[in-house]
A = this chain, B = another copy of it.
Amino acid sequence: MKEKLALMIPGPTPVPERVLQALGQHPIGHRTPEFQDIVNKTTELLKWLHQTKQDVLTITGSGTAAMEAGIINTLSKGDKVICGENGKFGERWVKVAKAYGLNVQVVKADWGQPLNPEEFKVLLDQDEDIRAVILTHSETSTGVINDLKEISKHVSQHKNAITIADCVTSLGATNVPMDEWHLDVVASGSQKGYMIPPGLSFVALSKKAWKANERSDLPKFYLDLRSYKKSGDKNSNPFTPSVNIYFALQEALEMMKEEGLENIFRRHNKHKEATQAAMEAIGLKLFAAKGFGSPSVTAIEPKGIDADVIRNYIKENFDILLAGGQDHLKGKVFRIGHLGFVNDRDILTVISSIEVTLIQLNILEKPIGSGVAAAAAILTD
């Protein structure tokens, strides 16, 4: 039943009915007091979500636009930056930095492994001219979470550097206290923990980031965050925003506020633990290094079979869309998104569907029900 396809990819994530209803309303003028009220309310809720008193700006664009905005508004041509790279998105920020003529040093880890905070510390200690550390918190391509807190701690002790963090699949899923962790730029996107369709992205900036902005000379216009700040201070936008996605944003943020940050983080952590335990109980290998699994996406590396065969079987027979591997991981891993509007039932559903799929493909190594049992032990704990 194609019409009943369930999304269990790391974005777009499932959208609650009340959010879809908000989305499907007639648009209103974006230069009206009514819309200013929406900008005002969503901005306050975004600050709550980011655990910050500083600025959170909303851009009509993807998470990449938000991340690029963070980079090009705080740096200047030739600036020395360190990029963390242990997956597709880490690679992307290296490309952005190079496209703008930054002087890039790369701290690498193999795909599936976390970045080593010590390596950042060593490089930062050696050179006081470094202007930024750019990295991904939850690496969506591999299901690895990096130790952003520790890396940011090293950066905060440096004279000139700021931390620019891609929190696209971590914000709204796990704790990202911007102010407490001294994060300077935090980028995120609507189709993730926010539980709304793609189309808006968010970039939060610390005072230190705005200070860096004063000397930034990279050319920009649509992504010039000074315009967003200036308009934002009047509860407005510099360019026509995605009005209907804003309607959805307000509704979804109110739902998140009702659930509470602690509950949201606990739910995501529980689903991560249950998914990991179930996959191991079934006999499937987790791609991410032990202890570094992302709260929002689990990558699985099946042995002796193209991962897309499993993925396609589940799509065709159980109407669940899982994500495939990207680039050199294509066919090697499949990824289960447990991000946003996901409940315990969804987790049981995907696990039991995977078990039945492995039976049908004649590759289930453990007794049927092992995965469900392992997940149940965590979900009912």
Q: Which residues of A line the B interface, CB within 8 A? A: 2, 5, 7, 9, 11-12, 14-15, 20-21, 23-32, 34, 60-65, 68, 95-96, 99-101, 189, 191, 197-199, 218-224, 239-245, 321, 323-324
Contact = CB atoms under 8 A, between A and B. Distances in A.
Describe A's contact surface by its main secondary structure.
Answer: loop
B242 A242 contact: yes
B24 A24 contact: yes
A325 B236 CA distance: 17
A244 B191 CA distance: 11
Contacts of A11: 240
This chain: copies in complex: 2
A313 B65 CA distance: 40
B64 A198 contact: no
A221 B321 contact: no
B27 A197 contact: yes
A62 B101 contact: no
B14 A20 contact: no
Nearest to A11: B240
Contacts of A31: 323-324
Given A62-B222, A218-B219, A240-B62, A191 B321 contact: no
A185 to B, nearest CB: 15
Contacts of A15: 26-27
A12 B32 CA distance: 12
A79 B239 CA distance: 26
Contact of A27 (B61, B198, B239): B198
B61 A12 contact: no
Contact of A199 (B34, B220, B245): B245
B26 A222 contact: no
Given A61-B60, A61-B222, A221-B96, A240 B29 contact: no
Given A64-B239, A189-B240, A242-B198, A29 B14 contact: no
Contacts of A30: 12, 198
A99 B199 contact: no
Given A219-B101, A221-B68, A321-B32, A243 B24 contact: no
28 contacts: A7-B28, A7-B29, A12-B29, A12-B243, A21-B24, A24-B24, A27-B191, A28-B321, A60-B61, A61-B61, A61-B65, A61-B222, A62-B239, A63-B239, A63-B240, A64-B221, A64-B222, A65-B222, A99-B224, A189-B240, A191-B243, A197-B242, A197-B243, A198-B244, A199-B243, A199-B244, A244-B244, A245-B245
